[in-house]
Structure 1
Amino acid sequence: INTLLLAPIMIPEVILGVALLLFIRWLQQPKSFALLLIGHVVLTLPYVLLIVQARLVGIKKEYEEAALSLGASPFQTFREITFPLLAPAIFAGMLFAFTISFDDVTATLFWATAQNQTVPVKIFGMLRNSISPEINALGAVMIVLTVSTPLLAGYISRKFAKGPGK
């Protein structure tokens, strides 16, 4: 299951885009926002899984065992112990997923409709006509977002990986 979930990292975005589009066509469904959303989830899920798995391996079993031995149910143990320890990794994964999804043009070209376009696809369409001040402004905003978001995610994951009070 892990290999299957991590496979989209190894598949080129063009292949992934065409494959999902062909699958939706085989199901006889039109292009829609749902296709765009599913495509971006498939594209970014492996990165989130890698970050969360790395944090999950670092969580000591003793915390969960202590909660269970003190009478907590498995759900309470997850809610009170495991999830708070995983939360920074989940948040960092969400930031990385946002960055990857926000910057993706290649696969999104296959999934987007005229009504549902991402900012990079819109910029790509605007570049066909001419370079305008709007494109320059959007490009500057995209550069700031795509550089600062992973840096913020890395900082948050390192800060919380040390544990409280360290």
Structure 2
Amino acid sequence: MKKKKIGFRPLALCYACLFYLFLYLPIAVVVVFSFNTSQLNVTFQGFTFEWYGRMFENVQLMQSFFNTLIVAAVSTLLSVILGTLCAVGMYRFKFRGRETVSNLLYIPIVIPEIVLGIAVLAFFTLVKIQMSMATLIISHVTFSMPFVVITVRSRLAGFDPSVEEAARDLGANDWRIFRRVTLPMILPGVLSGAMLALTMSLDDVVVSFFTTGPDSMTLPIKILGMVRKGVSPDVNALSTLMILGTVLIMLAATFFEMRMEKKEEA
């Protein structure tokens, strides 16, 4: 049977160009206006690095930036540890209510963020915990961990249990099997889940708005407050650096996953 050749379709190409233009044009505008000599994001009047210098002089902006990095790093680490253990445990052990637990993990993903934010706020208020960096991290783990569980479980779906049995027959204990056999096999899924958790934490606004404390304001919340008066060029500069950092992390993770897949194929 001959395969039907797909010819050139101008309409499809036009649609793809419009899609990517709509997707990346706002990011390009932020990057371009971070080098603008004017304080107004209306017209580009000249090229300068002045706002990158002023960005580091803005104490409140830099503090919110560091808070964002701390919350994202800690919540991602906790989400990866808890999510990986949860996925491996649900894969290895059969117990009553396993499907119920599996379905409950999807709730933070499918419900609106504002509902999740109000629910977490109500819980902290009920147990009389004051809003702080800790409550912010816990709330981020709440919506980040399910993504790790899903990616790791998808990796475990194609895992051959006979490999673990062979290692156990050779005298390896459970910890050694997990560290030397299971973890290397599921590492691409763990990295994918970590990237999702990190991205979700870095740009979260809604849940953070309800659970942040007076000394733990994150950058998205800070920018949200500044938008009412107009976004200053130093915010554009900081956003550009965050975009660059995110792209570098994604490239590094992709490169690492490709190397892991090549090792598995070899």
TM-score where L is the length of structure 1: 0.87
Contact 2:132–2:214 (8 Å) recurs in 1 = no
CA distance, structure 1, for counterparts of residue 207 and residue 259 of structure 2: 33
Counterpart position of 1:77: 177
Equivalent-residue separation in structure 2 for 1:96 and 1:74 (angstroms): 28
Residues 1-166 of structure 1 mapped to structure 2, 5 A cutoff: 1-146=101-246, 149-150=249-250, 152-154=252-254, 156-157=256-257, 159-161=259-261, 163-164=263-264, 166=266
Distance 1:163 1:7 in 2: 36
Q: Which has the larger radius of gyration?
A: 2
Q: Residue 107 of structure 1 aligns to a residue in which SS?
A: helix
Which consecutive unaligned segments of at least 5 residues does structure 2 have?
1-100
Q: Deviations over 1:5-28 (max 9, x none)?
A: 221001111000010001110111
**Equivalent-residue separation in structure 2 for 1:4 and 1:154 (angstroms):** 30
Residue-pair matches, total: 166
Cα gap change, 1:49/1:7 in structure 2, threshold over 3 Å: closer, same or farther?
A: same
CA spacing shift, 1:152–1:3, aligned 2, 3 Å: farther
Q: Distance in 1 between matches of 2:252 and 2:111?
A: 27
Distance 1:64 1:34 in 2: 38
| Shift of residue 119, structure 1, vs aligned partner | 1.5
Q: Over aligned residues, Cα RMSD in angstroms?
A: 2.1
Please list every run of 5 or more consecutive structure 1 residues that lacks an aligned counterpart in the other structure: none
Summarize deviations over 1:125-165 as a string: whole Å, max 9, x none. Answer: 22222221111112223333455545654554455345435
Separation in 2, partners of 1:10, 1:76? 36
- Using the aligned pairs only, state the percent identity: 38
Q: What residue identity is the alignment partner of 2:223?
A: I
